[in-house]
Structure 1
Amino acid sequence: MGKQTKIKCIIVDDEPLARDVLEQYAQEMDQLEVVASCGNALEAFKHIQEGGIDLVFLDIKMPKLNGLELLQSLKNPPLVVFTTAYREYAIQAFELDAIDYLLKPISLTRFLKTVAKAHRFLCGQTHPAFEPLADPPTEEEPQDKATIYIKSDRKVVKLDLTQIYYLESLNDKVLVHVQGREVSTNQRISYLEEKLPKPRFVRIHRSFIVALDKVNAYNNIMVEVDGRELPIGRNYRSHALELLRAH
């Protein structure tokens, strides 16, 4: 990087709100220049192949091609910071020489520390192989801090995962049944399934996903959640029952 002061970066995340947060953070920093904000890994791949990218803020769980697969596909990747709600990929991130691993929701303070680290690398003051991930996620961190963002009524709503009982697909919408209320979204249930942490949630039917810790009772054909009996579909039965028994 030499005397160059601007770090040219791209943001890669299929959630618009997550991209907006990082873009706003980047605008607070003179040394960052956001070259592109990408909604999927394939779009990001094209920008990286064109060259000139110093740093990538990369989500992991994305449809078609995930963040880990994108990084593995690059012969000469730029510096990569993984941004994710899932701490279980930290080891893989380290093995792929990511310089940092940010758990969502990402604070501005934590973001600033990551950019400072990237600046050191690009100025030749250190190398990713010789500096550990800053504040790596640990198993001791409470799991109940996790959240999910969904689109509802022209807004983006943050939901606490510990308050979700089940998701129900109804025609062209999905109802997320949370503690004391329902939140409606036009996002597909299969899309939301990819965003929910496993094995905390399990798909039991083409129309239902349940939180395992909210299941009060079950048998081979149904589960009881929040006073309601939900059917277990034939195609989901084996996997669902295996997780129910383990839980």
Structure 2
Amino acid sequence: MERTIRCIIVDDEPLARKVLVKHADQIDNLEVVAVCTNAVEAFCHLQKGNIDLVFLDIKMPKINGLELLESLNPTPLVVFTTAYREFAIKAFELDAIDYLLKPISLGRFMKTITKANKFLSGHHVHTTFENQPQSKDAKSESKTEPELLYIKSQRKTVKLDLSEILYLESLNDKVTIHTSTGEIHTTQRIGYLEEKLPSHNFLRIHRSFIVALDKVSAFNTIMAEVDGKELPIGRNYRSHAMTVLQDHPH
């Protein structure tokens, strides 16, 4: 049974709020906790905690949606709802899980909720993981982990040596595996591949990126450098990523 998602809707347009509330009423496990007309009102609700998801308009008076998200720490999952395409890159940088262009159809809305359900399940596992020293049993198990990853790519199964992987990049429901010898493309989801990769060698730093820890040449609080490329570290992954990167021998 899927968990109940507690959400708030933030939009200064009455019609837009009405459409989102109507769509939300069609989803059994989605609970609308509050409907806000501006960012200040939303901020007050978010400070109380226990909000999983925010449907957030961008262009609003005084404080816009992007500014609101930047002010939050920690952040819930955020879906931007807007009539403007030009903010999509900035939304991606702020680790929003989706970007809905108005008018928003019920079908597109339901796809977003499916994504939120999957992300919340995976994110829960991620945030409860603690980077503790391995027990003897755990160390012995890690030695037996396979050093190969089998990837479905272009109607074939590709056998990939884990030591060749630089990083994984997810874009538009496809994943590109960047290796020392080239790129491999697959429709297998990044969350599925994350489960197959040994956690002591690979780290999810963003909803769209997984890096091989031994290939990280430099990092700070917002990026990890792999093969000369600066990959973003998402806000929701930052605390755990910093702990792992600082502890991992380079």
TM-score (ref. length: structure 1): 0.50
1:14 is displaced (CA, Å) by 0.2
1:71 is displaced (CA, Å) by 0.1
Q: Residue deviations 1:73-128, cap 9 Å, x none?
A: 0010100000000000000000000000000000100000000000001111798x
Structure 2's unaligned 5+ residue stretches are 127-167, 174-250
1:131 is displaced (CA, Å) by 5.0
Q: State whether residues 6 and 33 of structure 1, in contact with CA within 8 Å, keep that contact through their aligned partners in structure 2.
A: yes
Aligned residue among 49, 54, 57 for 2:55 = 57
Q: State whether residues 99 and 133 of structure 1, in contact with CA within 8 Å, keep that contact through their aligned partners in structure 2.
A: no
Distance in 1 of aligned mates of 2:117 and 2:170: 13
Q: State whether residues 26 and 33 of structure 1, in contact with CA within 8 Å, keep that contact through their aligned partners in structure 2.
A: yes
Q: Residue deviations 1:179-225, cap 9 Å, x none?
A: xxxxxxxxxxxxxxxxxxxxxxxxxxxxxxxxxxxxxxxxxxxxxxx
Aligned residue among 99, 102, 114 for 1:101 = 99
Match of 1:68 in 2: 66
1:130 is displaced (CA, Å) by 6.7
Q: Residues 23, 130 of structure 1: CA spacing in aligned structure 2 closer, same or farther, 3 A cutoff?
A: farther
Match of 2:179 in 1: none
Provide runs of 4+ in structure 1 moved above 2 Å: 129-134
Distance in 1 of aligned mates of 2:169 and 2:98: 13
Q: State whether residues 58 and 81 of structure 1, in contact with CA within 8 Å, keep that contact through their aligned partners in structure 2.
A: yes
Match of 1:121 in 2: 119
Q: Residues 130, 25 of structure 1: CA spacing in aligned structure 2 closer, same or farther, 3 A cutoff?
A: farther
Q: SS of the residue aligned with 1:87? A: coil
Q: Residue deviations 1:24-65, cap 9 Å, x none?
A: 000001010000000000000011110000000000000000
Aligned residue among 26, 29, 33 for 1:28 = 26
Q: SS of the residue aligned with 1:80? A: strand
Q: State whether residues 59 and 65 of structure 2, in contact with CA within 8 Å, keep that contact through their aligned partners in structure 1.
A: yes
Match of 1:181 in 2: none
Q: Residues 133, 19 of structure 1: CA spacing in aligned structure 2 closer, same or farther, 3 A cutoff?
A: farther
Distance in 1 of aligned mates of 2:49 and 2:172: 25
> What aligned pairs does 1:2-17 form with structure 2 within 5 A after superposition?
5-17=3-15
Aligned residue among 35, 38, 51 for 1:37 = 35
- Which amino acid is the alignment partner of residue 106 of structure 1? I
Q: Residue deviations 1:147-175, cap 9 Å, x none?
A: xxxxxxxxxxxxxxxxxxxxxxxxxxxxx
Distance in 1 of aligned mates of 2:107 and 2:2: 24
Distance in 1 of aligned mates of 2:45 and 2:104: 24
Count residues in correspondence: 132
Identity %: 68
1:5 is displaced (CA, Å) by 1.5
Q: SS of the residue aligned with 2:54? A: strand
Match of 2:83 in 1: 85
Distance in 1 of aligned mates of 2:171 and 2:85: 16
Q: Residue deviations 1:121-149, cap 9 Å, x none?
A: 1111798x975467xxxxxxxxxxxxxxx
TM-score (ref. length: structure 2): 0.50
Match of 2:44 in 1: 46
Match of 1:205 in 2: none
Q: State whether residues 26 and 32 of structure 1, in contact with CA within 8 Å, keep that contact through their aligned partners in structure 2.
A: yes
Q: State whether residues 10 and 56 of structure 1, in contact with CA within 8 Å, keep that contact through their aligned partners in structure 2.
A: yes
